[in-house]
Structure 1
Amino acid sequence: MTQIDRRQFTQAAAALAALGMAPRAFAADVLKIGYVSPQTGPLAPFGEADKWVIEQMKSAFKDGITVGGRKYEVQIVLKDSQSNPNRAGEVANDLILKDKVALVLTAGTPETANPVSDACELNEVPCVSSVVPWQPWFFGRKGDPAKGFNWTYHMFWGLEDVIANFTNGWKQVQTNKKVGGLFPNDGDGNAWGDKELGFPKPLSSMGFTLTDPGRFQNGTQDFSAQIAAFKRDGVEIVTGVVIPPDAKTFLTQARQQGFRPKVITLGKALLFPGAIEALGDLGDGLTTEVWWSPSHPFTSSLTKQSAKALAESYESGTKKQWTQPIGFAHALFEVAADALSRAKSTKPADVRDAVVATSINTVVGPVKWGGQGPFKNVSKTPLVLGQWGKGQKYKYELTIVNNEAAPSIPVGGKIRLIAAA
């Protein structure tokens, strides 16, 4: 470079600086975090809060992050799985191969988290996943308990926890202990209905009788066969794990066909306020698992917000009712920030090693791999049981009605039977 060139470059740089536009050469290095969730399609309620959480994270990361002594500008790249496993795998590969992300985060049922985790394992890029019971995440990916996975780590509860919560609730009310199961032909349904890993064995050991009419496809329009089987066997409790549209179809047809169970406890479909509102009067009294709520006694390591403050911030910012995935979307970024700040560098192996060594208290509870789950890749989080009822602030509100499995999370009421018409 000649003397004149240098002078011109210096003058140009000074002019840009005066305008608040530093030349790109002086900007911080960029570190990208990828996030895959269902923004559209039937699983979209699982991703409803993600854009809000990511906006919150842009503020949390506004000063950048230091990794291995170097300061990085943080960019979060959100990809939509479209509720499709093939699409989830494709966008994960895009994040890894095109966007060159340092870490992938993913949440929202096996149909999203499993293919994303598989893509990361194959490409040797660290991944933290959530919002899938650990059995369909681990065994659904052909995990070997003796070996585990090298690049993919998971934080959520397991089927043993949901079974404990559901049955703890059922034991509090008077029924004939006859249970009807709705288990679709998908990652969750096959795990929940599995004779060894799922509901059948523990229910039998507790004196419950299970009627399982067999697998059905998501999006089915006719539940007459299931309803007929449940009526034939005198079922008073209905359980299962279905997508919101299928819950509405089943509940509407059950009412039309004169099937009135005393208890309906469904996973997945009854998590979200919008799904309950769409059910109208059918939503009152339904029970479901609660993985996060404003009542949870935990605080964010990143923003220092309590669970209650985080939920209130979401409600005031979006003018919508709080929803359970807020906590886990937020906690995934807590884990990312904590791991990256401890990593020796942004190299995949260094980031992965930092993830493995995680031990933090998040807004969903403690997260630690190795010792807080069944395998090295799984960190379990607490679970309680909730029931929907007519609300004060919103049309329907979720109240925690059993906390035997996680006593630190306070209950707000007792489980009640669904009122007969």
Structure 2
Amino acid sequence: MSTRLQRRHFSQGLVALAAASVTPLLRAAQTLKIGYVSPQTGPLAPFGEADKWVIEQMKTAFKDGITVNGGKYAVDIVLKDSQSNPNRAGEVANDLILKDKVALVLTAGTPETANPVSDACELNEVPCISSVVPWQPWFFGRNGDPKKGFDWTYHLFWGLEDVITAYTNGWKGLATNRKVGGLFPNDGDGNAWGDKNLGFPKPLQTMGFPLTDPGRFQSGTQDFSAQISAFKRDGVEIVTGVVIPPDAKTFLTQARQQGFKPKVITLGKALLFPSAIEALGDLGLGLTTEVWWSPSHPFTSSLTKQSAKALADSYEAGTKKQWTQPIGFAHALFEVASNALSRSKSLKPADVRDAVAATSINSVVGPVKWGGQGPMKNVSKTPLVLGQWVKGQQRKVDLVIVNNGAATNIPVGGAMSLLQQ
């Protein structure tokens, strides 16, 4: 080998050695961005009420950065407000992807937020983890093909089969005529819950709970006279459905004014939050709803090692507000993000996506695993129980778990009772 060739090989070796030695420093100086989209304002804002607190908690959890394939990265969480508007949700998701160059997008809070965000990520080939939408309106509402699934978007939550089971488990133990009235708005949730094949009508009929469905209505309607008349006509004693909090208040107020007194009212979405129940006054006591997460859930965070109770207590101490169900799922999204990024081969979108898909953790909302724990490869199911709002001992109202038939590891706190007439 010539002297010139030897020198060139020696120089190349020095350059390679220098590059290898500075790579960790360069990585340490880089920032990894995680995008988060939720409704901070508008009628769906209660779903995003805890997000800023959770993000502050994550800033502490990630203060030393995240190590990805041997390199440490500072973490920047970019929160965007969907304003409870699907178009806005899609716009801010595109901003996160194209302008902020996020490595991963997280989103939660009804189909009106999670679906357009997931669609934007699927289109732009950026990994996304979503929650707080029953899996059917998330999957089929996005025209998902069960044979193919999605390539970039992954979801964790329960399904309509679970909420139907939770509701009917509670109703079966009560003295009613089993006639049910449905309130299903013309939106992602309402169209899924009211769907004759995928939603409530078919299984309720099979279980001996005939359903009166007066048809779709627009969220924000000021007149429920048609629905109330139909329920009175058919002798309905159980009212169910999935409505936003303002619509629940309008319906309940007008039902009382028009002399309609059902024995059971079990609604999704509207009755999840203590603030919504307090706003109903005495109309709120005795109402029932699904419980996806509570301080009594027997799960622990894989990230902060807090129990569900410790997480709820920390939220109440930090905000001076009552715990609310979305806390657990906002936290769990970051658990999955942290776990997946720490296992990813790189920050290339496909590598991050593959790490997300391979997730298998025990989170503060329960086990999360895709590819074997849900009905589709992109769906990981979480447990669901039934709760009833009662007058609180230390607070104005408390949500008590009254039926755990579908998830017996989650303890009940009391028995379900009929509404006071």
The two structures have a TM-score, normalised by structure 1, of 0.94
Which position in structure 2 is the counterpart of 1:89? 90
* Aligned equivalents of 1:143, 1:294: Cα separation in 2: 34
Flag as ranges the 4+ runs of structure 1 deviating above 4 A: 24-27
Counterpart of 2:116 in structure 1 is: 115
- Distance in 1 (CA, whole Å) between partners of 2:395 and 2:116 is 36
> Where does residue 242 of structure 2 map in the other structure?
241
Structure 2 residue aligned with 1:345:
346
Asked whether 1:292 is paired with 2:257, we answer no
Give the C-alpha shift of residue 143 in structure 1.
Answer: 0.1
Q: Distance in 1 between matches of 2:286 and 2:275?
A: 15
Instruction: Indicate the SS of the match to 2:154.
Output: strand
- Structural mapping, 1:402-417, within 5 Å: 402-417=403-418
Find the aligned partners of 1:49 and 1:207 in 2 and give their Cα distance. 39
Residues 27, 72 of structure 2: 8 Å contact kept? no
Q: Which residue does the alignment assign to 2:9?
A: none
Q: Cα RMSD (Å) of the superposition? A: 0.9
Q: CA deviation at 1:164?
A: 0.2
Which secondary structure state, in structure 2, belongs to the residue aligned with residue 106 of structure 1?
Answer: strand
Deviation at 1:25, TM superposition (A): 7.5
Secondary structure of the equivalent of 1:407? coil
1:266-277 alignment runs, 5 A limit: 266-277=267-278
Whole-Å Cα distance in 2 between the matches of residues 316 and 26 of structure 1?
36
- Give, in angstroms, the shift of residue 28 of structure 1: 2.0
Report if the CA contact (8 A) 2:181-2:236 is conserved. Answer: yes
Partner deviation per Cα, 1:151-176 (whole Å, 9 max, x = no partner) = 00000000000000000000010000
Q: Is the contact made by 2:111 and 2:188 (CA closer than 8 Å) also made in structure 1?
A: yes
Q: Do the aligned residues in 1 keep the contact of 2:298 with 2:409 (CA within 8 Å)? A: yes
* 1:280 matches 2:266: no
Superimposed CA distance per residue, residues 109-162 of structure 1 (whole angstroms, 9 cap, x where no aligned partner): 000000000000000000000000000000000000000000000000000000
Normalization by structure 2: what TM-score? 0.94
Code of the residue aligned with 1:396 in structure 2: it is V
Q: Superposed, which structure 2 residues align to 1:126-165 within 5 Å?
A: 126-165=127-166
In structure 1, what residue type is equivalent to 2:173? Q
Paired with 1:123 and 1:69, the residues of 2 have a C-alpha distance of: 27
Q: Which runs of 5+ in 1 are unaligned?
A: 1-23
Q: Which amino acid in 2 is paired with 1:319?
A: K
1:91 Cα shift?
0.1
1:393 deviation in Å? Answer: 1.4
Task: Verify: 1:102 aligned to 2:96, yes or no.
Answer: no
Partner of 2:31: 30
Post-superposition CA distance 1:10-35 (Å, at most 9, x none):
xxxxxxxxxxxxxx989621000000
| Counterpart check, 1:66 vs 2:55 | no
Q: Is the 8 A contact 2:156 2:381 kept in 1?
A: yes
Matched, 1:317 2:326: no
Structure 2 equivalent of residue 187 of structure 1: 188
Deviations for 1:284-337, whole angstroms, at most 9, x for unmatched residues? 000000000000000000000000000000000000000000000000000000
Q: 3-state DSSP class of the match of 1:414?
A: coil
CA contact (8 A) 2:166 2:386 kept: yes
Correspondence 1:248-259 to 2 at 5 A: 248-259=249-260
Residue pair 2:294, 2:325 contacting (<8 A) in 1 also: yes
Which residue is equivalent to 1:383?
A: 384
Q: What amino acid is the match of 1:92?
A: A
Distance 2:360 2:209 in 1: 39
Q: Distance in 1 between matches of 2:219 and 2:88?
A: 17
The aligned residue for residue 203 of structure 2 is: 202
